[in-house]
Structure 1
């Protein structure tokens, strides 16, 4: 990997982090909070629906593809060093799961890290297999996932009233205390974590696809890489995006198709577009690109920070802006998203001027290496003691 290729991955990861906030910000700024997210699906105005379309599911899928590309790099590194695989990678996945669990309990109901951790364990055992085996796994899991989305969508269309249940909006996030919200996450763990049923199969497909795109040279500065990026842009932006726009306005019954089925196709187009533009860029990176690249280098820290800051801005235990500025939707939501993005871009850049990794990444790396450190041998200890 050249430094330029790594920068492209960091840039894409930073864009994905900012894009996931573009989806989640609508949850934070709803006066009912995450508890009211399903009921809100049937209520957005035309402008808000269009704005949600721009981010919904697409950057989650892009981030998932990049996790797969990262897993491929770690597999290559292990093979190059002759280290058993998956080996210590399973410990890495376990740490990611614990981090996601803490993030879920303390900050945000719709954490994706737990789902990524479970997915990475499965894919770790697949990534080293033959191309034929990987293709079979991708097709089979992808077909099962698409069939599941189809069945659930048929159910939603048959009983649309179940999506907009008509219950009173929750006041937990507009008036409740922080401890009450934490207690609610623990109590409703199964309900809030149901998304993992969809995240894991979708993640398996996108992890494997991200790995195969890396092997195919999608980030390489070559004719093959350029041709592959063009095909991705056509499939994702010329085909996937228009279809996704239709489902965004088709009603709440199409929610699952709109969030989980079509966005991965659009994400492939975004990946191809950003990688192409990054390759064509000349000169030193500007403020925006530098900031997004630094966010990509501190992705875990930025992901947690954006959700923590959004909670403090919007919930009742913080500034309570979701309730007080409800009449200004959707415009104040855009301002909140832009402000939080500017914050974590600035902080990541300042942090990386002094440190190699983000704060969460540093702690995570320490925890990852801790059990691998070998204790000093007794005879070595005696020798050192004698010298002193």
Structure 2
């Protein structure tokens, strides 16, 4: 495997573990996503400071990193298609459709904050944009980023103009997370589909921009030795400037600050993180202990993403062990951190074990199997290689 691919797998592994670092706080809230947004069941005492800091450190950064990595993966698929003399985007719409189906299943069965459906739509749009001349792609980045900034500004203005919350947030009643069955939660997600999918619509311009930025960075050599200057610039912007601002605005800015940090500053931090990790491997380093632990997760990103949600739901929700309902202000933080570390360890062990016996993760295998059948039935079977795999 090339140095570039080592960096990609490690970065995907970081992004996957980073998403659960953000979402684990939603799972351990007895009111689920609604309680997390409304601020119910918070930690108390000194644990409240730790909770705020841990949430802010993960908030939005790894969503941004995973989005950029999907864009890089899409550009790699385009390179593979051109190298084989195939048209682009060709039959990519089948890939997007399969990813969307994966997202629908993940949404209804495991988590209402699924990102796969949004990535499927974004990928389909960007796949066609990548077939255009570079100038048009740069224009698309500018338009998508500008649209996102305008939307972010409007949402921030509304939050700043809204009256301050009075009293404590009300708890969810009836509560399908704590008291409902597995089927009850599926029905709850179906009833509130539009509300739970609002974020996916809101971040679509940002996702398009980050997909295209990922493809642009790949062309510019961000993962290769020649991209050293580019990486230094990204690290200064992301880790030197955006990260301190993100922490300050997110901690002190209230609801509006959280939104600005998550959707405005965090993607820039993600670019800095990408450059930092890529620079390490671009200089010829092979994976060390942590790199070897993260690489299998990156290779099985789809399987690990769904598995972490399934485990967290089984541990926290009422249809499973019901952990979230047993936590209070003094136990919330240590229990959440412990659960996060345990899930991360399970993913590392599972992914490493699986890839010792199989070439792809279980969901990746099913995805490719479905794609093979579709293309075969269309009379044009295209055997995907590793570069084509959804990561």
Q: Report the Cα offset of residue 43 of structure 1.
A: 5.0
Q: Which runs of 5+ in 1 are unaligned?
A: 377-388
Tell me, yes or no, if the aligned pair for 2:35 and 2:41 is still in contact at 8 Å: no
Q: How many residues were matched structurally? A: 372
Contact 1:53 1:248 survives alignment (8 Å): yes
Q: Distance in 2 between matches of 1:32 and 1:281?
A: 47
Distance 1:325 1:41 in 2: 12
Mapped to 2, the partners of 1:282 and 1:219 lie a distance apart of 12
- 1:29 equivalent to 2:5? Answer no
Q: Which residue of 2 aligns with 1:379?
A: none
Any runs of at least 4 consecutive aligned residues in structure 1 with deviations exceeding 3 A, and if so which?
A: 41-44, 160-166, 279-283
The CA distance in 1 between the partners of 2:167 and 2:85, in whole Å, is: 55
After TM superposition, the structure 1 stretch with the greater mean CA deviation from structure 2, 54-63 or 156-165, is 156-165
Alpha-carbon distance, 1:340 to partner: 0.1
| Selected match of 1:350 from 329, 348, 353 | 353
Who is 1:197 aligned against? 201
What's the offset of the Cα at 1:259? 1.2
Cross-structure match for 1:173: 177
1:128 shift after superposition: 2.1
> Residue 239 of structure 1: CA displacement?
0.7
Question: How far apart are 1:163 and its partner, in Å?
Answer: 10
Cα displacement (A) at 1:82: 1.8
Look up the match of 1:20: 19
TM-superposed CA distance for 1:31, in Å, is 1.4
Of the candidates 114, 128, 131, which is equivalent to residue 131 of structure 2? Answer: 128
For normalisation by structure 2, the TM-score amounts to 0.91
Structure 2 spans left out of the alignment, 5+ residues: 380-391
Quick check: 1:42–1:252 contact (8 Å CA) kept in 2?
Answer: no
1:73 alignment partner in structure 2: 76
**Which residue of 323, 328, 331 corresponds with 1:328?**
331
Larger radius of gyration: 1
Q: Assess if the C-alpha contact under 8 Å between 2:29 and 2:40 holds in 1.
A: no
The Cα RMSD (Å) is: 1.9
Q: Aligned ranges for residues 1-388 of structure 1 at < 5 Å?
A: 3-40=2-39, 45-161=48-164, 166-170=169-173, 171-222=175-226, 225-249=227-251, 250-280=253-283, 282=285, 285-326=287-328, 327-373=330-376
Taking the aligned partners of 2:266 and 2:41, their CA distance within structure 1 comes to 20
Question: CA contact under 8 A between 2:40 and 2:169: conserved in structure 1?
Answer: no
- In 2, the alpha carbon distance for the partners of 1:52 and 1:337 equals 12
